[in-house]
Amino acid sequence: MIPKNATALVFDSTSKTFESKAVALEKAEEGETVVAILYTTICTSDLHTYCGRRPLDSPTILGHEIVGKIVHLPTTNTKDYTNQELALGDWVTWCVYAYEADDPMAQKGYPQKSTSLYKYGHHPFHHQELNGGFATHCVLKKGTAIFKLDPRLSLKEIAPLNCTHATIAGGIRLAGSLANQTVLIYGAGMLGLSAAAMISTLGAKQVILCDLNRERLVLAKKFGADLILDSQLTTAEKKQILLESNLSLDVVIDTTGIPAVMEEGIELLSIGGISVWIGAVFNQPPTAINAEMVVRKLVTIKGLHNYIPEDLATAIQFLTRYHTRFPFEDLVSAEFQLKDLADAFETASAGEHYRVGITPTSH
């Protein structure tokens, strides 16, 4: 049954404050699914918005790494994206956007770039729409790819699925088969650890992770990294390590968005290598690419922003199968109640936690 009221913590980008708002929620529009939010994690992109690095029309309800429990199903659709039957009480996640299937960009294979796109955790709150994770409920629009979840997974494991893990699954899709490939991942944040774990299960020859933070590099070993590199090493020193290890670099996945790092990745790639850029999601200085190097080395550069629904399906399959192998649950190492969201963002901004979890005050 749909509750009469919900609570949302609404963010104002000018004052950088969160205000508790009561939202009437007595009925859903045709095709909409209503979920009670069980858990939300603060994503790095939420922090970009909070800190002013990424502009966003506010006020808005932030949060898109969400786990929900179905409290209302539309009569027109009772199956998830993979054709599993849905029922009241099911745990679900969903793509971070809704779209119309006949949109021209969706028809091209880029639903995340549809002109009809509706993004959760990003849409303005002007009409009091419950579309973000920092609330007690979320209303899923028609055109949202919903996925039923195995409740044996923990909320901490599940919450980042529809952002971190799905994005990495999309990056791997762009990279192609990684069997017997040597892969370098820049950045040992949650994206990088997810990439190392996922790639290590795909038959890669070597998984290399590069970062400035020594503690994160040590942790990367628990997430499938075979070799770790200090980012402070020069490009020449990194080349020497690869040479001494008899490794030829086939794929680079960048999660940092730092121009100098992306430039170095191109230089380290071997002939025919592929560089997948994921991290450049807010404005940075121009990236200087040596065009002759790209041409002579037959290098391919691919960018990914968000993902397609199939990537989320892949991520769910991965986590369901391998969650006991990799300690993803430990990456959510601080928790707050929804009413303390401002404190949670301050804690997350300090950078000491991979993820900070938010539990609603009511379901």
How far lies 346's CA from each of 75, 110, 342, 351, in Å?
42, 35, 6, 9
Domain residue spans of the chain: 5-162+327-359, 168-303
pLDDT of 240: 97
Edge-to-edge strand list for the sheet holding 300-303: 227-230, 206-211, 182-186, 251-254, 274-277, 300-303
How is residue 297 written in tokens?
Answer: 């080395």
Q: Which sign, positive or negative, has the C-alpha torsion 100, 47, 274, 259? A: positive
* Half-sphere exposure at residue 163, Cβ-oriented, CA atoms within 13 angstroms: 25
Cα dihedral 158/170/132/45 (nearest 10): 100
DSSP string, 91-143: EEEEEEEE--TTSHHHHTT-GGG-TT-EETTTSB-TT----SSSBSEEEEPTT
pLDDT by position in tens, the chain (length 363): 677 889 999 999 888 899 999 998 877 888 899 999 999 999 988 998 888 777 777 799 999 999 999 999 998 778 999 999 999 999 999 999 999 999 999 999 999 999 989 999 988 887 788 999 999 999 999 999 999 999 889 999 999 999 999 999 999 999 999 999 999 999 999 999 999 999 999 999 999 999 999 999 999 999 999 999 999 999 999 999 999 999 999 999 999 999 999 999 999 999 999 999 999 988 888 999 999 999 999 999 999 999 999 999 999 999 999 999 999 999 999 999 999 999 999 999 999 999 999 999 744
120 in Cβ contact with 131 (< 8 Å): yes
The reported pLDDT for the residue numbered 51 is 84
Given the DSSP bridges, would you call strands 65-72 and 91-98 parallel, antiparallel or unpaired? antiparallel
Fold of 168-303: Rossmann fold (3.40.50)
Paired tokens of 354: 């991979």
The total number of residues written for the chain in this structure: 363
Residue found by looking up tokens 């971070």 in the block: 96
**Nearest C-alpha neighbor of 185 from the set 173, 176, 197:** 197
Sequence-distant (6+) residues with CB within 8 A of 70 are 33, 34, 35, 86, 87, 88, 89, 90, 92
Supply 343's token pair. Answer: 């404190």
Is 5-162+327-359 CATH 3.55.40.20? no
- Supply the DSSP symbol for 60: B
The answer to whether 204 and 185 have CB atoms below 8 angstroms apart is: no
| pTM for the full predicted model | 0.95
Q: What is the pLDDT of residue 14?
A: 87
Secondary structure element (H or E) that encloses residue 44, with its range: helix 44-50
Question: What is the distance between the alpha carbons of residues 342 and 340, in angstroms, rounded to a whole number?
Answer: 6
**H-helix or E-strand spanning residue 72:** strand 65-72
CB atoms within 10 A of CB 17: 12
Torsions phi, psi for 275 (to 5 deg): -115, 125
Tokens 């990003």 belong to which residue? 122
Looking at the DSSP bridge assignments, the partners of residue 326 are: none
| Residue 363, pLDDT score | 42
Give, as one character, the DSSP assignment of residue 83: S
Pairing of strands 65-72, 33-41: antiparallel
Residue keyed to tokens 């040992």? 188
Q: What is the pLDDT of residue 236?
A: 98
Pairing status of strand 137-140 against strand 33-41: antiparallel
Which is nearest to 281 in space by CA: 256, 262, 315, 307? 256
